[in-house]
Structure 1
Amino acid sequence: MDVSVHHPDELTVADRAAWTALQSAAQPGGRPQMANPFLSPEFTLAVGRCKRGVRVAVVREKGPSGEPVAFFPYQRYPAGLGRAVAFGMSDCQGLVHRPGFQWDADELLAACGLTLWEFDHLTVGQHPFEQSATGSFASPVIDVAEGWDAYLARLRAKSPTFTGTTLAKERKLGRHHTDVRYVHDERDPAVLRTLMEWKSAQYHRTGLADRFARPWITQLVQQLFQTRSEPFAGILSVLYADGRPIAAHFGLRTERVLAVWFPAYDPAFAKYSPGLIHMMHMVQAAARDGIAYLDLGRGDSRYKDSFKTDELRVSEGVVSRRHPVALVLGKSHAPVRALADVVSSHAEVLGRANRLLRSVGMPRGPGKTP
């Protein structure tokens, strides 16, 4: 393989256009997950500006044209340990590639200076990586390719009580409150801050770690909110009542896919189920905008089960090279962060790892990874 490794900011305009073109061809080509916004160059670029160690391997055709045939975004840690970009935050991971492209995982990781690469939302069709998967999981989706009316009819047939109750609560909300309206693409950053406050409070209520307590995640969301390209955008949609937001969602879209990411609502309006009302409007607006499906992300949830029409699959695991460091760390299946701690605490192993990685070549780009 002809592979070069770059910091995301080093990618040329032509390279980014080629990456986007591969994604645009994926949906009609029967590989819908590859069109996911989390696999877009804009997402990797944004993460690279918030986190150190983000790199992109560009695989090119051999010969005069040198056209890119694949892009592999990853995040590198000490001693060549690697993870998917924004691991734990991104809902779709893998190599974006031309149809029919085949690659050797060991060769690709060596070109990236990696001993191993960890993933938790690997898209389907990545056989060289899937062979190392330790689990496969459902990622619910809402198919609106046939339009809103077709979807609503399908929802009524599948969940008549849920659909009727949600629509009735919206009517009740309208009777008891004024100026009930939905905005699909809100550009007010103050509303985004409100959404993040709601989400933080939800994390605390449910006993989950507050993602927005981590400055890089807040920075990433704010940056993506300002990101607009063709066809990528960060989309903030909002349900209003009495002149103020009562439910909102921030997610990412490409030409045909909307990734559902951060939904939340004002608990003061909980009796109206504003999150469900908001979701109804968001699905309708997405269908109107030409979205083929909304990706709800891996994980169980009552609202996902209610709205979904189908499920895609994602997998998790660790793919490793035939490499001395991988053999030393190797078959424990511990997370990469834990492995990095093990390596860093053993000077002999770390020294050997760094010497070996230098012998195969390190990624080029500004600065050092952490």
Structure 2
Amino acid sequence: MDISIHRPESLSGSLREAWHRAADESPGYANPFLSPEFAAGIGGFRGGARVAVLSEGTEAVGFFPYERTSLGVGRAVGLGLSDCQALVHRPGVTWDAQELLRACGLSVFEFDHLVEEQKPFDRYVTGTFASPVVDLKTGEGGYAQWLRGAYPGLARTTLKKERRLGRDLGEVRFVFDERDPAMLRTLMQWKSAQYRRTSRMDRFARPWIVNVVEHLFRVREEHFTGVLSVVYAGDRPVAAHFGPRSRTVFAAWFTAYDPELSYYSPGLIMHLRMAEAAGREGVRVMDLGRGEKEYKDWLKTRELRVGEGFVSRSHPVATAHRLWRRPVRGLRNTVLAHPRLREPADRLLKTVGALRTSGGTGSGRERSGRADPARTGSDRAGPHAR
């Protein structure tokens, strides 16, 4: 097995095509976060991004995207943003994890959303977690008929709130693939405000993340398209979501809404509208991402399993990295796994956020008694707190 190292944004057209073929032959690699387009998007703004290309003879059969520091610490490409990680390869291809790290110049490789099929990494997995997904089906008739058939328990309340929203602000309409970059900026502004209200790290305060999202918004390829979806009431945007899709998988990523309109559960309306529209577009799975949230339990049809852990070689840098990172992960996972710990921690963060923003735009609390995914899900009190 020959292994060569490349910049992801500089891969040749033939290598990208080989990557796409490998993903097409294995349904588990259909997620847009496993595409060369996503790796190239990260690589355009992250100097340490690389792709290891595994070749048998003259044929490229595997692709391993990662980021590397000057000390040889490696992490999954886009760690903290990516909801799916893997070495993408043709069926039947095998590799050795230690040999792979040596070829990449890594002492350790950290991951947190590894797909299950990565057998050479199995012994390095320190925990596995549910990643809910929605199997999408195209229904007859319009959105309301689809909603009643797919989610009868949510249909009555959701449709009632949509009608009320329409009466109060203007006709409700949904755009699955909005191409207005100004609306993308509005989404990022809403999301930043939400992060601050809830005392989460503001991802959009980091220029490289803003640049990556703006870049991916412009990507329109067969295997990867950045999709901005918006719910409008009249001419007013109510909620928005940006996420990538492949031909068959749509990834829920960044969702936010106008906090003044939280009463109408706009985040839930957004996710339901996206599921119906994506199914009509030929998407078969909507990936909600790792993390336990009530709205995911309402929407999911099944769960995948993803792993987190560290592949490491015998090296002092690897030892130091594990000693630093594992306790942090362990504490976080303990809090997230136990509602008695998670709920007080979440309340504390919201209280701190309210104190920080007092006198500002308001807390945007959900007054309907139903949790809203733009607040609870996209904050992902999970590994990325997105």
Report the TM-score range of the alignment, normalised by the length of the smaller protein: 0.7 to 0.9
- Cα 1:186–1:105 change in 2 (3 A) is same
Q: Deviations over 1:247-282 (max 9, x none)?
A: 110000001000000011111211111121122211
Q: 2:315 aligns with which of 320, 324, 327?
A: 324
Give the 5 Å matches for 1:1-370.
1-27=1-27, 31=28, 34-62=29-57, 66-144=58-136, 146-148=137-139, 160-321=152-313, 323-325=314-316, 329=320, 332=323, 334=325
- Cα 1:267–1:331 change in 2 (3 A) is closer
- Cα 1:202–1:148 change in 2 (3 A) is farther
How much has 1:242 moved relative to structure 2?
A: 2.2
- Cα 1:252–1:106 change in 2 (3 A) is same
How much has 1:330 moved relative to structure 2?
A: 6.8
- Cα 1:218–1:316 change in 2 (3 A) is same
**Greater Cα offset, 251-260 or 306-315:** 306-315
Secondary structure class of the residue paired with 2:295: helix
- Cα 1:67–1:252 change in 2 (3 A) is same
**Greater Cα offset, 147-156 or 116-125:** 147-156
The unaligned stretches of length 5 or more in structure 2 are 330-386
* Distance in 2 separating the partners of 1:157 and 1:285: 15
- Cα 1:212–1:330 change in 2 (3 A) is closer
How much has 1:285 moved relative to structure 2?
A: 0.7
% identical aligned pairs? 53
Secondary structure class of the residue paired with 2:268: helix
| Paired positions, count | 328
* Distance in 1 separating the partners of 2:80 and 2:310: 14
8 Å CA contact 1:178–1:242 kept in 2: the answer is yes
- Cα 1:126–1:282 change in 2 (3 A) is same
- Cα 1:11–1:22 change in 2 (3 A) is same
8 Å CA contact 1:118–1:318 kept in 2: the answer is yes
* Distance in 1 separating the partners of 2:302 and 2:273: 19
**Greater Cα offset, 167-176 or 150-159:** 150-159
Higher relative contact order (CA 8 A, sep 6+): 1
* Distance in 2 separating the partners of 1:337 and 1:78: 22
The unaligned stretches of length 5 or more in structure 1 are 339-370
- Cα 1:242–1:331 change in 2 (3 A) is closer
How much has 1:325 moved relative to structure 2?
A: 3.3
TM-score (norm 1): 0.83
* Distance in 1 separating the partners of 2:285 and 2:197: 30
How much has 1:152 moved relative to structure 2?
A: 8.8
TM-score (norm 2): 0.80
* Distance in 2 separating the partners of 1:161 and 1:22: 40
Q: Deviations over 1:106-138 (max 9, x none)?
A: 011111111110001111100111210111111
8 Å CA contact 2:288–2:296 kept in 1: the answer is yes
- Cα 1:337–1:220 change in 2 (3 A) is farther
- Cα 1:69–1:194 change in 2 (3 A) is same
8 Å CA contact 1:37–1:258 kept in 2: the answer is yes
How much has 1:177 moved relative to structure 2?
A: 2.6
**Partner of 2:373 in structure 1?**
none
How much has 1:147 moved relative to structure 2?
A: 2.3
- Cα 1:274–1:334 change in 2 (3 A) is closer
* Distance in 2 separating the partners of 1:78 and 1:156: 54
8 Å CA contact 1:118–1:335 kept in 2: the answer is no
Secondary structure class of the residue paired with 1:38: helix
